[in-house]
Amino acid sequence: MTISILTLFKEMFVGPFDHSIIKNAIKKNLVKINFINIRDFGIGRHKIVDDKPYGGGKGMIMRVDVLEKAIAQAKKLSSIKQKVILLDPCGKTFNQEKAVELSKLSHLIFVCGHYEGVDARIKEFVDEIISVGDFIVTGGEIPTMLIVDSIVRLVKNVLPENAIDEESFSGMTFGKSYLEYPQYTRPEKFKKLTVPNVLLSGNHRKIKKWRENQALNTTKKYRPDLINKSKTEKRKKKQ
């Protein structure tokens, strides 16, 4: 997989992409990450990338002509199964299902807006708009980091086989998109807190049943919307 990130602040990615799973994926040549400096496509001697908004208002807006040129350059890196993604609050909220979908593509191009925002016409030059939640951040760089991390770990051979089968939101947790069941490790007793006896029993059938119940209870407590979603999807399949 190739990931191209269009940004004015490449330096922000130093650190997050230099450690752990993403670093290993790059080292194994399973993932390649390119950074394209939007300012390289700026206007005039000073490489201007933004301007004042028409109609007035605070802040500066990134220019559509500059961004379109940067996107066109990124597209030249690969033409097979590629998608251009703009990070923007108006986009559909990112989730695990979308992460799985994107992990199957060959080339992802992320457009990181900044300042007060981007010229609305840039939406005509992207394939999809994604948001990471109903809140505002300074630019698209940090949301891109989150999305790239969630995608890279799903790329084939990045993690050991079956390592992601029973994660939260995976759809593999007992056949439902529930939160993952609680996990424990040593020490067996910490202060007055102990590991559930069933996990020490060695009875795999009982452990599986316990985990299934815990996944359901945890989801009911923290994310009941996931249970309602699963029921809705089940009804749709029957229709």
Residues 112 and 179 in one domain: no
Instruction: Write the pLDDT tens digit of every residue in 20-71.
Output: 999 999 999 999 999 999 999 999 999 999 999 999 999 999 999 999 999 9
Domain of residue 69 covers 2-152
Least confident of 88-92, 105-109, 163-167, 219-223: 163-167
**Cα separation, 163 vs 155, whole angstroms:** 12
For residue 59, give the CATH number of its domain: 3.40.1280.10
Picking from 152, 173, 193, the residue at the C-terminal end of a domain is 152
- What is the structure's pLDDT at 175? 66
Q: How many domains does the chain have?
A: 2
Residue scoring higher pLDDT (229 or 173): 229
Instruction: Write the pLDDT tens digit of every residue in 160-214.
Output: 988 888 788 876 566 678 999 999 999 999 999 999 999 999 999 999 999 999 9
200 lies in some domain = yes
Confidence bin at 6 (pLDDT 50/70/90): very high
159 lies in some domain = no
- What is the structure's pLDDT at 162? 84
> Of 146, 105, 149, nearest to 128 (Cα)?
105
109 lies in some domain = yes
Residues 104 and 136 in one domain: yes
Picking from 152, 173, 197, the residue at the C-terminal end of a domain is 152
Q: Are 129 and 88 in contact (CB under 8 A)?
A: yes
**Cα separation, 112 vs 126, whole angstroms:** 12
Picking from 152, 180, 215, the residue at the C-terminal end of a domain is 152
Instruction: Write the pLDDT tens digit of every residue in 119-167.
Output: 999 999 999 999 999 999 999 999 999 999 999 999 999 999 888 887 8
Is the per-residue pLDDT at 110 higher than 60?
yes
